[in-house]
Structure 1
Amino acid sequence: FYCCATGVPYCVREGVGSMLEYSRQSMFWAVNRIAQFAYLRYDEIGAEVRNVIDKYENHQIQYLDSLEQEVLSVKKKQQRVAHLTQYGVNNAMKLFRQWKDLDEYLMVKYIDGNIKRQNADGSFQDNGHNKRIPASPIQKPYSEKWIESVVNDHGQVLMER
């Protein structure tokens, strides 16, 4: 947002969710859903999240110079303020939708601790019989430490079965 902005989009307005009230319409909660997921599985999702951030930031770096030149060519201050305010609102809403889409994508791809297989175009592979059933997912092997812990804690029970 530019400091002259006279409005903000709903997703960042005061009162749209809080630290104690979840809101699907809140940018704060959209970003934090992904952040919380990344805390748990950064090794798997970090690069994908970083890619979305980098694309957004690089676009902004390339675009802002031309936006500012365009705004400076407008004679009336009120029109410049309106233009920059509208840019800020539209840009924030676009970013909000990107994060919501990323959240949904990550949930589908990484649900249940597995990783869904993808085609070269990024779409998810199906099982070859039904477009709504995924191909067998990629499952990370258990760590040696985890296997050792299970054997130490429950080895006898497992042997009896």
Structure 2
Amino acid sequence: YKVPYRWRPMTFKVDDVEYTNERAIATQQTGFSFVAQLRDNVPDAMKGVLWFGVDDANTCVYVPIYCCVTKVPYCYAHGNGDMLTLSWDAAFWVHNYVANQAYNRYSQMIPDIRRVQNGLEDSIASAVKVVEAEVMTLPNVRQREELSNFSDFWANHSTKEFKKLGDYLLVKYIDGNIKRETEPGVFKRTPEGMCASPEYGGYSEDYYRAVAKDAGERLKVIDIKAGK
């Protein structure tokens, strides 16, 4: 499914020849990443912003964490789950929930992930313009309060939305099939209210050719009527 990732180890051997797994820019084992935005023409409370994301940089949502924040958003907080304790309120686990489903059927799922990911980041970018304009003239203490609350809201909100995305992916792509939709997020039902017949996504042509080359004779379909 055109997954761009390669699992470790980074090298492997075939007939005593060693090869390397090409590494993608974004990797599945990323804990967190950020882009630092530094400015000198704004109040102190917003001079520094960390656009912060957890897990895979390819599928995360980057949230603005202002340098003035007075609390860690609960979705990022120490003690809210760990590597051995799943928490549905933790951004790390929720983003892994989404990404790890996509690793198995990347080409099919990534458009749905991009739709939600881009929608959230576009909303955040628009909201940043509004809140920064609003707090620009407030007293310093109020600026810190407003921007801290802003970062807290978007961190936790994006985590909740990604949990919904993970649930949606599980329902839509369960058992190798693809549920039909009337619009994104609304699944098609029969007149009786049952699940409409799904699509069967199958595999890519490259994959089918590889299978045919490896085991073609065994898998050929026999046409009994034609005597073949």
| 1:51 aligns to 2:115 (yes or no) | yes
Q: In 2, distance between residues paired with 1:15 and 1:32?
A: 17
Q: Relative to 1, partners in 2 of residues 1:43 and 1:29: Cα closer, same or farther, differing over 3 Å?
A: same
Which one scores higher on RCO, CA 8 angstroms, separation ≥ 6?
1
Q: In 1, distance between residues paired with 2:105 and 2:136?
A: 45
Letter in 2 for 1:97: K
Structure (1 or 2) with the greater helix fraction = 1
Q: Does the 8 A contact of 1:128 with 1:135 survive in 2?
A: no
User: Which residue of structure 1 aligns with residue 201 of structure 2?
Assistant: 140
What is the aligned-residue RMSD (CA, Å)? Answer: 2.2
Choose which of 84, 92, 101 in structure 2 pairs with 1:20.
84
Q: In 1, distance between residues paired with 2:141 and 2:202?
A: 61
Shift of 1:151: 5.8
Q: In 1, distance between residues paired with 2:211 and 2:170?
A: 25
Shift of 1:13: 0.4
Q: Secondary structure at the match of 1:66?
A: helix
Q: Relative to 1, partners in 2 of residues 1:146 and 1:66: Cα closer, same or farther, differing over 3 Å?
A: same
When structure 1 is superposed on structure 2, of 140-149 and 5-14 the one drifting more is 140-149
Aligned residues: 151
Query: How do 1:107-146 and structure 2 match up within 5 A?
Result: 107-120=170-183, 122-129=185-192, 131=193, 133-141=194-202, 143-146=208-211
State the percentage of identical aligned residues: 32
Q: Does the 8 A contact of 2:179 with 2:196 survive in 1?
A: yes
Q: Does the 8 A contact of 1:17 with 1:26 survive in 2?
A: yes
Q: Secondary structure at the match of 2:142?
A: helix
Q: Encode CA deviations 1:18-51: one digit per residue, 9 max, x unaligned.
A: 1222112211000011111111111101111111
User: Which residue of structure 2 aligns with residue 158 of structure 1?
Assistant: none
Q: In 2, distance between residues paired with 1:25 and 1:7?
A: 16
User: Which residue of structure 1 aligns with residue 215 of structure 2?
Assistant: 149
Structure (1 or 2) with the greater strand fraction = 2
TM-score between the two structures when normalised by the length of structure 2? 0.60
When structure 1 is superposed on structure 2, of 33-42 and 134-143 the one drifting more is 134-143
Q: Which runs of 5+ in 1 are unaligned?
A: 156-161
User: Which residue of structure 2 aligns with residue 95 of structure 1?
Assistant: 158
Letter in 1 for 2:166: D
| 1:85 aligns to 2:148 (yes or no) | yes
Letter in 2 for 1:128: P
Query: How do 1:4-43 and structure 2 match up within 5 A?
Result: 4-43=68-107
Q: In 1, distance between residues paired with 2:97 and 2:122?
A: 23
